Chain A
Amino acid sequence: MSEVFPTSLVSLLAVLVPIVGGLIVFGAGRWERRVPALAVVAGASLATLAMAVFMVRQVSHGIEQELVLFQLVPPIGIVLRVDAMGALFAVTIAALFALALAHAVGYLPDDRRQWRFHGFALTSLGCMIGVSLAANLVTLLLFYELFSLLAWPLIVHERTPAAFRAGIKYLVYILSGGALIFAGVVLVYWLAGSVAFVPGGVLSQSAPAGMPQAGLIGAWCLLVAGFGVKAALMPLHGWVPDAHPAAPAPFSAVLSGVMVAAGVFAILRVLLEIFGPALLVELGVLPWLGAFAGFAVVAGAMLAVPEDDLKRRLAYSTISQMAYVSLAASLLHPTALGGALVHVTHHAFFKGGLFFCAGLILAVTGLRRISRMRGLGWRMPWTAGTLTLLALAMTGMPPLSGFVGKWTLGTGMAQAGGFLHLAVMLIGSLLAALYLWPVVYRIWQRPEQGDPLHAAIDQGERCGPRGWMLFAVLAAGLVTIALGVAAGSPGFPLELARIAADALLGASAWE
């Protein structure tokens, strides 16, 4: 067991604070103490964010720390480690959760049940931070299963039949995925004798030569398929388009922004730190991953096009956008990988922001369907303006954040010679415009005479959007602008992604 530095305890605190905060909120909600409960929610989420930022600062100064909590079954322990990739993901999670919790204060009716939502959300925040900081597969699996299950009450929070149906579907998918992962972990342990994440791949390094090929491929399939359920890799995406519209909007944002990304994150860990580039090339499995991901990019976006429910459309878009990451990972090029990591963070904010907008629109006007949103922009100019901005970011319009990810991904793909990958990615962003443009067009269309929306505008009646939700929407918009305009600043995703990609794949040829 390594020596414990005081600062390494931050990683433990970042996991524990939200969990404890969540438990307190359960209690405070039960006794209907609004102000203390609100204070705990705000305090816990902001403290987590602060700790994540602290970890980011440490990582960008080149400090990596490991903290062994306890030995579960020697030699397998629950170990937390702060590396660049994990810190970047942790800060993304913490920031998006903070916005979502603020949005939820406005979105949910002010009653006892909202504290249940906040409680579950905070505990799952802690577990997700645990996923991002996990230093071995077992720790990852532990936190991963925990947050997956804690997400269930959040999905069914509205207790409609549709929500319950979606919830059951979610559980079945996730539990089956979890079973596959577990089998994969056992197989990896059997093959390598260790489940630790090691840059270069624990299977490449610690295992004796002559490992059974079938076992390796089996482990790869199990792990990628298992995490692929969460990552919405195309044939395994069934729960995504049902769970997103059913969940309350702030949680849809989190679900799309970071929970699906957690699956992708886990796949990256497995690919780069369990198998390792050399072994992956030897096994020849990467083209398969690329093919599945490429299919998901195009088909997910195509499925989004005819969808009329805004949240469902956004859910399909998540499938497409998150597949960019797997697509890039299948090339094993440092720049492409860096682009993928940047894209995960940037996507979290613009997609989360879009869900916040959808939630705000739903709460204020009761509209879910895009075809009915005609003229909405003139009624809710701030929301609609932000929605337009975020949509532009998603299509990769410079200088917004979406462009930075797309540019870096594209540079990497072109450098690695993946011209087909590049074409798929660009077709994906063309299709992104195809499913987002109608939304923007519709909301800025002048409402017809006799339309109740029109009447509302004539009377100068502006529906006052609820403050908390509008705050979350505008904050997401500002973050999207800032991440794009100041992408090159120290401590921003681009720099962290570069450190991470360098550590995982060797020095890169960055601009």
Chain B
Amino acid sequence: MGMTADQAGTMLPLVVLWPLLAAAAGGVLAKSGCSRRGFDVFVILAAGLALAGVAGLIAPVLAESRLVGALPFGRGRIEFAADPVGVMFALAAALVWFCATLYATAWLRQDAARARFQITSLVLLSANLGVVLAADLITLYICFEVLGIVALLLVVHDGTETARRAGVKYFWMTLLGGISLLAGILLFHALTGSIDMSAAPRASDGSPLMWATFILLLVGFGVKAGMVPLHIWLPDAHPVAPPPASALLSGVMIKTGAYGIFRVLNVLFSGGPAAADQAPETLQPWVTMSDMGLVVMWLGLATMLIGVVLALGQRQAKRMLAWHSVSQMGFVLTGLGTGAYLGADGAMASAGGLLHVFNHGLFKGALFLGAGAVAMRTGTANMYRLGGLWRKMPVTFGCMLAAAAGITGVPLFNGFVSKCMIHHGLVEAAERGGGLLLTAEWIFLATCAGTFASFVKLIGLVFVRKPETGHDAAVREAPAAMQVGMLILVLPIVVIGMRPQWLLEGLIAPGLSLLGIPADPIAYFLSHYFLSAADFGSFSGMAIAGAVLFIVGMRYGLFHLHAPGWVGVDYWYRAAGNGVLALCRALSGNSARIRARVSESAADAANRLIALLHRAERFAERHEDRAFERLDRLRDRVREKAEDLARDRADKTPGPAHEERINAAHWISGLLATQLLEQAMHSFAGTDDREAVEKWLSSAEARTEDLAQSSLEFADAWVGGSEITATALQSSLRKMLPRLPPQSDIAGGTGRRDWIGELGALIFRPGEPHWPVTESLDRGRLAAWLRRYLEGAARNLDLALGLVFALLALLLLRLVY
């Protein structure tokens, strides 16, 4: 590529944004009714161009070591930067993406939502490249979040209930991770005053704040990387997606988490370049980095072991592969952590971790694609039901075999190289640290043996053994596009296995030395350890142990022992989530109760105040008003309830005349309740048996639902064409409610609350009905006039204007005097 550095810098944002532009164009294309074939060609070309663009970055990056390109944006800029490590991540992403896109064109042939899948996938490619080529943390965060949230569309692509449930889990974990990451970035910014991601030395003073920042960043990236104990979404979300999406999720997207952790360890909190021969007090950053590496290393070891143990217990091929993604990410994290622990001597382990990222993208992508091809042709992904497919699907078998050789670390395949490097790193770490670190190597070897057993199981059950049930003769090789997709992924597995120096010395070593980590151990590895007898020896030991594990496990059914639910972290996440929800509900319920109590006692206090102001005996007469208010409220409730019931019915049973019935329910319930109100008020007018009134009112209120129900029946009848008479309503009321208390001989009290009292009650009791209109209010001329005016005003909504003028006048008066 004959590009100058400047040109390449200009190209950098374009490389990142190209898939996004292609996605927009794809959207237009899909809307405009382009043929399926045309659309497929377009997306393949788009992904291919993205791959070419990333490949074109390699030469200028190696020449310049760090390439910066900014996109002017308003007054600010979005900055991208490419260094060798970032380009390696981008290359892995674009390569797997291209293959998965190719594969998806065949997989989605029958899918109506084909265009949505491909467009989403292109957007995600853009976001993924953005993460690994971001120049600062804010760009990284933006791309990281877009990647996380938009990938939800791929997880739930099939729209099944399982997919939805996995999607919910995925969403919450992504969100938690995103918030943790944001918090970490904000703290980092506060700590150092910068969000730049170039390799300038950082303040690593070992303060609690710095550790909090580190933990938050680690959690943020760890969720994405499937790090234990944040991995719970991964084994659910990856298998439910369509196979090309699984390949992308497992092969590429989770790598952004590893990328983040690499940057955190080696850039954000790194010891800085060439600190080895400096004064002791400048060694603090290296101590910090080493401690952080230790944390990541142990988390990585836990991740790899737990992942492989659970992978062994799976029946579904894709679910098993997903658990292996967890486990393999454990290898990556162990490599990165060990590298940071060893500080200036850690290049070999770090390089192993980085190489494993690339390798895992290749073989896990190929494995998911192959498992998808098998599932497509046989209709099942259950390994125990398959068998003998190597004859029928030879290409798929070959690809899966090579990929399995890669993931188990067979010599001359790519996994062997990276695992050996991580292994040597662990041995060195054990020599330096001693103690508990001595067990690390054993955990590593046990995991390798487990991986071996697991893939013997996969290949053996699916392809090699004699089928238990006669297979459909229709099972045949996968479509050509899928085969090509898998083959392109498998080829580099072998190439890297034979010639690892192309990647190690080409991209990774310059990348590490750019970050201030001396890269000599990589060259040392290639010349002394690569394909050495010792490594062959440890491989054969591991393979024998794996084979034994496989045989013993299959024979005694060890792979299907299940631990109780509370052992898994999943259980505790769920419990925590439900706890938060319960807390919210409790708060809501209690606050409503408290609020009601407070407003009631405030109303009581206000009444007492009014009573003091306007003579106690007048206050005592208020029971009629109260009764009226309660009945009025009851009327509202009955009407709301009746409407609700009618709407409910309308929702449940489709049919004509809904609107009519709802309207009828509305006015009939109003009529019914008004009848009730009138009768009751008439009866209460003379009585002073307050208890009887109270009792009657409570029983009437308890019958709200019945009243609504009966209104609905009337409404039905009315819609059916029959008349509604007042006598019918009254008789229905008589049937439903207890008898009204009898009128007493003594006529009701004469004293009534005056209008000031009413207004006071109104203002101090906001919960009450809007305007108490009893017949028996104070009939003084002024009061009556004012009340009439206010009623009219309220009805016409002019009250506000009146109040505005009154208040304005008041305000002016207050200001003048």
Contact = CB atoms under 8 A, between A and B. Distances in A.
A396 B654 CA distance: 40
Interface stretch (A262-270, A274-282, A487-495): A487-495
A399 B595 contact: no
A489 B763 contact: no
A492 B76 CA distance: 12
Contact of B815 (A72, A366, A415, A509): A72
A305 B770 contact: no
A433 B175 CA distance: 8
Nearest to A454: B654
B456 to A, nearest CB: 41
A138 B75 CA distance: 38
B814 interface: yes
B811 A145 contact: yes
Interface in A259-297: none
Contacts of A441: 168
Contacts of A490: 74-75
Interface stretch (B104-112, B138-146, B270-278, B539-547): B138-146
B580 A434 contact: yes
A397 B149 contact: yes
A419 B588 CA distance: 27
A361 to B, nearest CB: 14
B588 A398 contact: no
Contacts of A430: 175-176, 179
A4 B629 CA distance: 57
Given A145-B807, A452-B651, A490-B75, 15 more contacts: A73-B815, A73-B816, A141-B811, A145-B811, A167-B770, A306-B581, A306-B589, A307-B588, A366-B647, A398-B145, A403-B145, A419-B209, A434-B581, A445-B164, A488-B75
A492 B800 contact: no
A489 B75 contact: yes
B766 A168 contact: yes
A414 B149 contact: no
A509 B766 CA distance: 48
Interface string B590-614: 0100010000000000000000000
Given A164-B770, A305-B581, A422 B183 contact: yes
B584 A302 contact: yes
Contacts of B584: 302-303, 305-306, 434
A211 interface: no
Contacts of A156: 797
Interface in B159-201: 159, 164, 168, 171, 175-176, 179, 182-183, 186-187, 189-190, 193, 195
A146 B807 CA distance: 9
Most A C-beta atoms less than 10 A away, residue of B164, B171, B815: B815
21 contacts: A138-B815, A145-B807, A153-B797, A153-B799, A157-B797, A165-B766, A165-B767, A172-B763, A172-B766, A307-B588, A366-B647, A392-B149, A398-B142, A403-B145, A407-B138, A411-B190, A429-B179, A430-B175, A430-B179, A492-B74, A511-B76
A169 interface: yes
Contact of A398 (B141, B159, B164, B585): B141
Interface in A459-511: 486-490, 492, 495, 509, 511
Top 9 A-B residue pairs of the complex, sorted by shortest distance between their CB atoms: A489-B74, A164-B770, A414-B190, A488-B76, A488-B74, A305-B584, A398-B142, A169-B766, A410-B186
A415 B189 contact: yes
A395 B141 CA distance: 15
A302 B804 contact: no
A142 interface: yes
Contacts of A149: 800, 803-804, 807
Nearest to B633: A161
A411 B767 contact: no
A64 to B, nearest CB: 21
B762 interface: yes
Contacts of A153: 797, 799-801
Given A161-B636, A395-B175, A414-B189, A486 B74 contact: yes
Interface string B114-157: 00000000000000000000000010011001100100000000
A452 B74 contact: no
Interface in B767-817: 767-771, 794, 797, 799-801, 803-804, 807-808, 811-812, 814-816
B556 interface: no
Given A305-B588, A306-B585, A426-B183, A399 B142 contact: yes
Contacts of B193: 509
Interface string B650-683: 1100100000000000000000000000000000
B588 A146 contact: no
Contacts of A116: 797
B190 A415 contact: yes
Contacts of B141: 398
A141 B183 CA distance: 39
B187 A414 contact: yes
B268 to A, nearest CB: 15
A421 B707 CA distance: 52
Contacts of B770: 161, 164-165, 167-168
Nearest to B148: A397
A145 B149 CA distance: 44
Nearest to A163: B770
Interface string A141-171: 1100110011011001101011011011101
A455 interface: yes
Contacts of A429: 179
A372 interface: yes
A439 B189 CA distance: 34
A65 to B, nearest CB: 25
A398 B146 contact: yes
A175 B769 CA distance: 19
A182 interface: yes
B70 to A, nearest CB: 13
Given A303-B584, A495-B75, A426 B182 contact: yes
A441 B768 CA distance: 37
A388 to B, nearest CB: 10
A43 interface: no
B815 A452 contact: no
A429 B808 CA distance: 41
A20 interface: no
A507 to B, nearest CB: 15
A498 B799 CA distance: 42
Most B C-beta atoms less than 10 A away, residue of A398, A410, A417: A398
B73 interface: yes
A33 B293 CA distance: 75
B583 interface: yes
Nearest to B817: A73
A174 to B, nearest CB: 11
B654 A452 contact: yes
A362 interface: no
B587 interface: yes
Contacts of A152: 799-800, 803
Nearest to B209: A419
A31 B195 CA distance: 62
A142 B811 contact: yes
A126 to B, nearest CB: 13
Contacts of A171: 803
A173 B599 CA distance: 13
Nearest to B76: A488
A165 B74 contact: no
Contacts of A159: 797
A76 interface: yes
B189 A411 contact: yes
A397 B145 contact: yes
Given A302-B583, A302-B584, A398-B141, A161 B769 contact: yes
Given A182-B814, A410-B186, A372 B807 contact: no
B558 to A, nearest CB: 39
Contacts of B168: 441
A151 to B, nearest CB: 9
A397 B142 CA distance: 8
